[in-house]
């Protein structure tokens, strides 16, 4: 091993300083697991050292470390294509997710030393965890605000996701609540378009929510998408929801940026609003198996920043990811300490942060509910878009089918047995029995 990474001009920085195999991390250090695919002419140890240098105190050539020497990251283990790097906590600005990720997940993905680099996991030390707020409400607060216990909570994304007028949108929401679904939501690309102004939509839809609550005697929710071009506008939209009697906001968690999320978390706590996070654009980061950021990292970031619930995928339905991946994400969001599910990854002490509610959403219909219950348990939202509104009897009938299936599974009753007493569920099971993704 030369212990260096060389470029075309023969410059040799990195490895003597950043490669410390066998020097185990301290409890107060942030640690990362990277899956590394080195460039053809670069050795694994050289590539690993380059990642450690670029994500902490190094540069492309030899420099005197000086006072920065005590802040350098170090590669403490290499196992196959997995590289484990420890970072002193002093490297990071407490409570700043942009600062942390700009370090460990910043320039490193564009380095010539690697053909592929995937951040598989981060263990945030307790000292850094305590710098983040976590959810204001989380699982216990959401259940308390909704008054729902003993079963999974239900949701529905309004379909078609875009194109409905304000009046049409509000009417579909009303029909869905009346059928028995607990919450409805905007989809990720419904903002404030000419055909559906945000402020008018909120006023009209929450008017219909209050009507549905009065008629059903149940608490209902509307996850209204406040995602906008500036944080100031998102705050104005949240304030409008509060004025109209809403209790939820929704943000597109990735596209608004982590500073935007942190800002909304701060402001919505003042307003007493619950945050739903839609994960739009996540797959650009996490889907490629050899490059990017694994979704378990995104899940940890979401809980630290303080969203109350977030989409996880489903394990069934139309989205990528199997049951074991979903169980891991659920554990990260919901458990006090996450134990690794698949080999190399880290336990995480949450230092008392409230659990975030996982939301299963994407290509679901009532026939999926037994599998969802097996994967997620009852402490989750199951959300049905097309699986509600595509019902042959319309949105209200689709919602009845969902509610019947949810309650049956919670009571240990099979869907076939429940469908004998509920024609809407029977129709749903028959319609989507052959759907395969």
Helical (H) or strand (E) element with 430 = helix 423-431
Q: Which stretch of DSSP H or E encloses residue 10?
A: none
In angstroms, how far is the first alpha carbon of the chain from the final one? 48
Axis crossing angle, helix 423-431 with helix 395-410, rounded to the nearest 10: 100
Dihedral angle at the C-alpha atoms of 55, 59, 65, 70, nearest 10 degrees?
A: 0
Q: Which of 251, 373, 263, 374 is nearest to 310 (CA)?
A: 251
Single out the residue of 334, 437, 315 nearest to residue 380, CA to CA.
Answer: 334
- Asked if residue 202 lies in contact with residue 241, where contact means CB atoms within 8 angstroms, the answer is yes
HSE of 69 in the Cβ direction (CA atoms, 13 Å)? 8
Report yes or no: 170 and 199 within 8 Å, Cβ to Cβ.
Answer: no
Strands of 169-220, DSSP E: 183-185
Closest to 223 (Cα-Cα) out of 165, 153, 282, 286: 153
* 339: three-class secondary structure by DSSP: coil
Q: Given the structure tokens 């997620």, which residue do they identify?
A: 376
The secondary structure of 243-284 as a DSSP string is: HTT--EEEEETTTT-HHHHHHHHHHHHHHT-EEEEE-TTTHH
Nearest to 62 by CA among 3, 121, 149: 3
Six token digits for residue 204: 């009209």
Please indicate whether residue 311 is annotated as part of the active site.
no
Residue whose C-alpha is closest to residue 169's, from 112, 209, 135 = 209
Q: Would residue 423 show up in a list of annotated catalytic residues for this protein?
A: no
Contact 44, 38 (CB under 8 A): yes
Listed residue (300, 350, 306) closest to 330, CA to CA: 300
Which are the contacts of 415, defined by CB distance < 8 A and separation ≥ 6? 366, 367, 369, 370, 405, 408, 409, 425, 429
Q: Please, are residues 116 and 290 in contact by the beta-carbon 8 Å criterion?
A: yes
Question: Cα-Cα-Cα-Cα dihedral of 43, 123, 117, 40, to 10°?
Answer: 10
Contact by Cβ (8 Å): 176, 156: yes
> Of 169, 276, 278, 368, which one is the catalytic site residue?
278
Catalytic positions are 159, 278
């Amino acid at each position: 091993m030369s212990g260096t990474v060389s470029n075309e001009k023969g410059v040799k920085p990195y490895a003597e300083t950043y490669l410390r195999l066998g020097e185990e991390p301290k409890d107060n250090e942030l640690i990362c697991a990277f899956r590394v695919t080195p460039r053809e002419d670069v050795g694994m140890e050289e590539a690993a050292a380059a990642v450690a240098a670029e994500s902490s105190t190094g540069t492309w050539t030899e420099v005197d470390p000086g006072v920065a020497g005590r802040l350098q990251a170090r590669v403490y283990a290499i196992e196959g294509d997995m590289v484990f790097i420890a970072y002193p906590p002093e490297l990071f600005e407490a409570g700043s997710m942009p600062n942390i990720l700009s370090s460990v997940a910043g320039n490193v993905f564009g380095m010539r030393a690697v053909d592929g680099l995937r951040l598989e996991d981060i263990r945030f030390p307790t000292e850094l965890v305590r710098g983040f707020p976590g959810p204001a409400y989380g699982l216990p607060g959401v259940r308390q605000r909704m008054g729902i216990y003993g079963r999974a909570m239900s949701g529905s994304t309004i379909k078609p996701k875009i194109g409905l007028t304000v009046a049409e949108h509000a009417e579909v929401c009303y029909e869905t609540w009346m059928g028995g679904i607990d919450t409805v939501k905007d989809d990720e690309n419904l903002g404030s378009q000419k055909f559906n102004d945000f402020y008018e939509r909120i006023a009209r839809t929450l008017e219909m929510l209050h009507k549905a609550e009065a008629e059903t005697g149940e608490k209902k929710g509307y996850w209204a998408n406040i995602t906008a071009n500036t944080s100031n506008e998102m705050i104005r939209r949240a304030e409008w929801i509060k004025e109209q009697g809403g209790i939820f906001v929704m943000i597109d968690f990735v596209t608004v940026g982590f500073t935007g999320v942190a800002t909304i978390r701060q402001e919505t706590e003042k307003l007493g609003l619950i945050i739903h996070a839609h994960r739009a654009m996540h797959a650009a980061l996490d889907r490629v198996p050899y490059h990017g950021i694994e979704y378990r990292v995104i899940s940890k970031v979401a809980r630290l920043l303080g969203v109350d619930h977030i989409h996880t995928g489903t394990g069934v339905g139309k989205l990528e990811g199997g049951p074991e991946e979903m169980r891991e994400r659920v554990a990260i969001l919901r458990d006090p300490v996450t134990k690794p599910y698949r080999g190399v990854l880290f336990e995480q002490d949450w230092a008392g942060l409230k659990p975030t509610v996982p939301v299963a959403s994407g290509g679901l219909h009532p026939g999926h509910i037994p599998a969802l219950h097996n994967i997620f348990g009852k402490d989750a939202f199951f959300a049905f878009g097309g699986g509600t509104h595509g019902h042959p009897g319309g949105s209200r009938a689709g919602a009845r089918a969902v509610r019947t299936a949810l309650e049956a599974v919670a009571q240990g009753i099979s869907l076939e047995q429940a469908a004998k007493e509920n024609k809407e569920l029977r129709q749903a099971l028959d319609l989507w029995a052959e759907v395969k993704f």
